[in-house]
Chain A
Amino acid sequence: MSALSWFRGAMQPGEMTCTAYPWLGRLASLRLTLVILALLGMGVLIAYLSETHTTWALVIPLVLVALNLAAAVATNGVFRRKTALLIFHLALIAIILLVAAGRLSYLKGHLELAEGAEFSGELVGQESGPLHWSRLDRVRFVNEGFQIDYAPGVRRGATNNRVRYVDEQGGIRQAVIGDNDALVVHGYRFYTSFNKGFAPSFLWRPTQGSAELGAVHLPAYPAHEYRQAREWTLPGTSRTLWVQLQFDEVILDPDKPSNFRLPARHVLVTRSGDTRTELQPGQTLDLPEGRLEYIGLRSWMGYTVFSDWTTSWLLAASVVAVASLSFHFWRKFAQEPWNPDERHA
């Protein structure tokens, strides 16, 4: 049997009201639905199991679902008789369209802020849909420091990060956010992450130009406990400086509860070319390009940021879907008992 006649055979007499466009009736076939649902299931598994980019495995069947469903809604008489079933399927179409819109316009990114630093709209890394329209430059918030308790075995507990931010009305507000408690502003959701560490901060006074404050984010702690060093370039110059944080104390004790904190005593080792210098807070390093003052040690926090405007619409569509589905089944089952013979028995 050819595929075409197979689908044609799927049309149920009386159900299809569309004779003007026979192809529409074929596209609306309920048996085609079965094929497409199976394709979608396979697409999900392909996308899940394969390492490479396999968006097509989901997109193609989802487009087919939408077409098949739209054709069925347009031509199948069952949907005119059963409004709740119609609403359920329309909600499914809405969900598919919203998910597609979300994929085109979402943003997922990450950033780092030293304690006291303000978010300036710059992300360290990001991925986004081709139609994402960034409003990140409107977001203003300051990292005011965080606290993380650790259980024995260096098991990280909840992060409490104090932030000060400007809300949508321009008011200044404060909040405590965490890995699962977001700061929500201008449609973006900012979460703290496991990524955090120490940040030596400096005042750089170049021989020409104005002074600049900045912090160097050392590799994440405790993930890179034994690699607390980094090379960076002094602003406006080509000079690189290697800095290393040295301290002896145990910050996160594997044997007892502890919390993330700055070491009480530390020294910052710097190396530029062959010159090695040890700095304490307040000390300076003179270089041909200017003078670098080590202000002191702070912490930095890594944040993730998400934005997807479709979520509240998706929720609404899902609620409509579940409610209409329940109503459909309730009415259908209430109308006819499952075992009509029982009444006579």
Chain B
Amino acid sequence: MLELKLLWSALVVYVASGSTAIVSVVLGRKPQRVILALLALGLVLHTGSIAVRWDRLGHGPFVTMFEILSSNVWSLLLAFALAYWRIPAVRASAAVVMPIVFVMMGWLLMTSPGEGHLPPTYHTIWLFIHIGFGKVFLGAVLVAVGLAGVVLLRFKGLGLRRLSGLPADERLCDLAFRFMALGLIFETLMLVAGAIWAQDAWGRYWAWDPLETWAFVTWLTLAFALHARLAYTQRPHHGALLIIAVFVLAFLTFFGVPFISTAPHKGAV
């Protein structure tokens, strides 16, 4: 099937790009153009795969776990590629970000690419708005996680020489928190858009279903992280740990809850 061939080629190209990034940090080389070009090629192939499937099924990649993972690998790598391209200081963090995305790709390969049933409530523009905001949120947090990872690696004394060309930890942490701020804006937008959709479709804007609950806890943790930075003079690796904590919660919300929950988002019934 063309769709799966495209997807597999994209994954192979992503892995090539990520491995080059990791090796380049370990060996202290800077093949940045190659990494970015491979990322871009992977994204093109992946976009093709998603488009073919969309056309075949008549709906976007929002229903099955396979679709959720595939579209998020796509959006996370798109966000990261944009940051990689525009902000040179982010580049070394590919060695942290790519392994995270590799895990998602491995998981993607293990899920069944079968079709799901698009619920009637999904025929609305709010689906795209809500999910779109969520993707920007997760993309921003992923970039922050990459930077936080670099800070933590240096704190642990790993790759000191390779990572020494980068700005100081305080500066990286500041940049990471700017991405967290962007994340807060988009997570707030995601929650508001979801609430508008729920109010319109079911008459109540909030029902504490598992996804809503975990998304709200993630939002609170993000607020906590931003305030902690203002309330205390923070060491960069503490800030980095808070960023990782927010990411772990966001990751569990986006992928863990739909995976284990038998009571899905009301939107999915």
Contacts and interface: CB of A to CB of B under 8 A. Distances in A.
A34 B227 contact: yes
A48 B237 CA distance: 32
B167 interface: yes
Interface string B100-135: 000000000000000001001100000000000000
B227 A311 contact: no
Interface in A13-61: 30-31, 33-34, 37-38, 40-41, 44-45, 47-48
Interface string B46-90: 000000000000000000000000000000000000000000010
B161 interface: no
Contacts of A315: 192, 196
Contact of A45 (B195, B217, B227, B231): B217
Contact of A40 (B168, B189, B220): B220
A44 B203 contact: no
B223 A37 contact: yes
Interface string B148-191: 00000000000000000001100100110010011011001100
Nearest to B210: A48
A48 B171 contact: no
B12 interface: no
A40 B216 CA distance: 10
Contacts of A34: 224, 227-228, 231
B235 interface: no
B120 A158 contact: yes
B120 A179 contact: yes
Interface in B199-224: 199-205, 208, 210, 213, 216-217, 220-221, 223-224
B12 to A, nearest CB: 35
Which interface class (under 10, 10 to 19, 20 to 34, 35 or more) fits A?
35 or more
A339 interface: yes
Contacts of A314: 195, 205
Contacts of B1: none
A141 interface: no
Contact of B171 (A33, A311, A338): A338
A338 B224 contact: no
A321 B221 CA distance: 18
Interface stretch (A115-123, A163-171, A286-294, A325-333): A325-333
30 contacts: A10-B231, A31-B231, A31-B232, A34-B228, A44-B216, A44-B217, A44-B220, A45-B213, A47-B208, A48-B213, A179-B120, A180-B121, A180-B200, A180-B201, A182-B200, A306-B204, A311-B205, A314-B205, A318-B188, A318-B195, A319-B192, A322-B189, A322-B192, A325-B185, A329-B178, A338-B178, A339-B167, A339-B174, A341-B167, A341-B171
Interface of B: 89, 117, 120-121, 167-168, 171, 174-175, 178, 181-182, 184-185, 188-189, 192, 195-196, 199-205, 208, 210, 213, 216-217, 220-221, 223-224, 227-228, 230-232
Interface of A: 10, 30-31, 33-34, 37-38, 40-41, 44-45, 47-48, 108, 155, 157-158, 178-180, 182, 189, 191, 304-306, 308, 311, 314-315, 318-319, 321-322, 325-326, 329, 333, 338-339, 341-342
